[in-house]
Structure 1
């Protein structure tokens, strides 16, 4: 009987112990903020966001092509204006803050006061966590109408606020070092045709981040692409590397500027970056354009490298190019855009060793606005596949006529190989050189012809205004030199 009683007590004891060790499903998160401004460390807004997860498609692209663009990380993909915060609080006068009832997971803590921001990534909550003391640097505020007439350097990891239109004159220059957060005003200002936050540089601009510490350009408080306008360089030189541009109207605009953009990321902008009447040797390389209305837009007046080793994914249009310059697009991937690349004014450049896949249109060529323009776009050693509308579409729109192109030594796959159309108001009567390409699974000319729309397929009234696609001879085997090298 005594042994039974001891066993019973043991069972009761262990049962009670188990009931007190049930795993927690929520935790507390806390920290302290030290604000460098004169208003003290109280009243800092602390917002908690879920960390971004890189989707499988983008991860596969990075694994497949590690030498294009920049490595995509949750830190780069995070946009505070694209999601609602999980929790928001303010610091006490001591700078202390805390959240309760936080589910386990990966989070970003965003600190904000008086236009200054600090983004704290890699906050992994699986127990009660104190992230310690963090410093929030007071923002350097440039008010609307500010004109900078001297050489100005913004030191690393600073905060900058652009309120309205701010100009760096031809007598000054601007250097921005790594890790700087540049927040643009959402307020309306009217000046010289610009509104909302705009930074205009009349002379030299140098913005150089690094792979671990990008310079971040973003609208202060909204996810609307009208929230801020652009960083614009007018006739000066620009050297930009490791730039992150979020939710802008114009992103980075380079006007009559000999400029270099490398290793940068343009996310969710109405227009990512623009080269307008650029000087010789301008270059955009190793950059990523995701979710923009237009990723790269250029009117090229001189020979430049428009895109080299860049990724265009999920944009309305990846590249939108016009002008008669002999510029180059090379070794770039166009994936899942409405249009991979579109050209106007018979862009007299070369697109080589690019891959166009999973787009609506792989390439859409519009032609010129005057008949005397005989420039043509050349596609060579490219891969086209799984573009749902047409791999290549050549069709005048608006007042454009006579789109001309040579497409050679490419691998092309799909039910819709190439489309050309013209009519009396907008003729497109030039024949298209579509020779020496490899067509997946197609050896017979009749089969190939069935997947081409040209002069033979239009209504009788349009035959005299529509060219012929000349595709013979064809390559009998896959072209291994085509695609991204």
Structure 2
């Protein structure tokens, strides 16, 4: 009997240790492939890194979940940077370009290919459920581009490295297609006097600092330019439109020192920003000065000192989220604004305005103000023609209005509370200021806020 038991135990042990059994054997896989360095016969030394997908920042993911209709949906394509991550496995190619990554747990990974003086290639969201061979990868040499570009140039599936200032001359053009990574050196300035074409790409064009901890200066755009699907990071001043028109759409901006986008000296010009996601700047996202027309639609501005810093400007803000900042909008000197269907959340001051606006109606309607720790509206000096109606001012806002301007029409709003006396306790009027709040709306306005 003991002999039978020993035989059964031995058989069970063999079964459990077998890779084909269900007893927890080695469940890892191997990934193989080949890499070709364009223009080379020796393909050795290419580094292959296997990376886990990054976790999208929880606060930013929450914004996407609550307001999926505005900004861009943050994905591995917009957020992953292999330079900030640690690979789970690495390998080097042999002379014929072959490589093997072994001992890999099944799952979804990013595969990154790097080699000195060559482009960086990403293969994102690769699912590995069994040992397999990747399709052959061809890597182009990196394009080193500085000085003056005097001819048309098209770049696709390539890394551009700009180590010193670059000027795109009048009459010349730089067209960026799919899978372009543009790395700029410390304090580098790119000046566009010709054309920059980035509006036919289906994948994101990434523009970033060459070295970790450094900031490139700005991209100064002096000619009418439309830009689509950019990821722009780590600069001093981001994109600078100067006395020209353009369209910036479906783009991601992050970690700029001064602003993501600067627009100034643009008489009889226009700029439209639509469906962009800007986060984590030091001073502001948009700096606007001396502009006749700028439209900001369907855009997320999150975590900075000022969302929009504007002076002597005519602008429109519609269906945008301004969240976690000292001031949502700081609008000074002459100008005009239309502020409709926006959300102002988790701020000190929602909107601050001062000096005379143009003799036109200045509508602030159908906006939501939530969790404002100081005042939703701070109105100073010679303001006129303000129409503050059909907004939701939640009761969790510390103060509603500081009015040091003239008589303000703030009727037909929902204040989170129905007592006129308690509403007036959250309104401060200066020597000239008179804020008219009646009639009030007793229930939350469902049509207000982001659509």
TM-score by length of 2: 0.86
Q: 1:318 aligns with which of 307, 312, 336?
A: 307
Q: Which residue of 1 aligns with 2:390?
A: 409
**In structure 2, distance between residues paired with 1:276 and 1:81:** 34
Deviations 1:65-118 (A, max 9, x none): 333222322221223344444455543333334445555554322222315211
Q: Which residue of 1 aligns with 2:242?
A: 255
Q: CA RMSD in A?
A: 3.1
**In structure 2, distance between residues paired with 1:365 and 1:231:** 29
**In structure 2, distance between residues paired with 1:108 and 1:416:** 46
Q: Tell me the SS of whatever aligns to 1:208.
A: coil
- Indicate if the aligned counterparts of 1:342 and 1:366 stay in contact, CA closer than 8 A: yes
More strand by share: 2
**In structure 1, distance between residues paired with 2:104 and 2:376:** 49
Q: 1:201 aligns with which of 192, 195, 200?
A: 192
Q: Tell me the SS of whatever aligns to 1:41.
A: coil
Correspondence list, 1:5-154, <5 A: 5-20=3-18, 21-24=23-26, 28-38=30-40, 40-55=42-57, 57-87=59-89, 90-99=92-101, 102=104, 105-113=107-115, 114=117, 116-124=119-127, 130-143=133-146, 146-150=147-151, 152-154=152-154
Please tell me whether residue 473 in structure 1 is matched to residue 448 in structure 2. no
- Indicate if the aligned counterparts of 1:361 and 1:392 stay in contact, CA closer than 8 A: no
**In structure 1, distance between residues paired with 2:92 and 2:360:** 61
**In structure 1, distance between residues paired with 2:39 and 2:290:** 45
What is the Cα deviation at residue 164 of structure 1?
1.1
**How many equivalent pairs are there?**
441
Q: 2:402 aligns with which of 408, 420, 430?
A: 420
What is the Cα deviation at residue 63 of structure 1?
4.3
Please tell me whether residue 220 in structure 1 is matched to residue 210 in structure 2. yes
What is the Cα deviation at residue 215 of structure 1?
1.4
Farther-moved stretch of structure 1 (341-350 vs 409-418): 341-350
Unpaired runs of 5+ residues, structure 1, are 187-194, 396-400, 422-427, 456-463
- Indicate if the aligned counterparts of 1:412 and 1:438 stay in contact, CA closer than 8 A: yes
Unpaired runs of 5+ residues, structure 2, are none
- CA gap of 1:338–1:13, structure 2 versus 1, over 3 A, is farther
What is the Cα deviation at residue 350 of structure 1?
1.1
Please tell me whether residue 233 in structure 1 is matched to residue 233 in structure 2. no
User: Where does structure 1 differ by over 6 angstroms across 4 or more consecutive aligned residues?
Assistant: 371-376
Q: Which residue of 1 aligns with 2:274?
A: 285
TM-score by length of 1: 0.80
**In structure 2, distance between residues paired with 1:338 and 1:25:** 52
- Indicate if the aligned counterparts of 1:347 and 1:377 stay in contact, CA closer than 8 A: no
What is the Cα deviation at residue 248 of structure 1?
2.3
What is the Cα deviation at residue 49 of structure 1?
3.3
Please tell me whether residue 360 in structure 1 is matched to residue 326 in structure 2. no
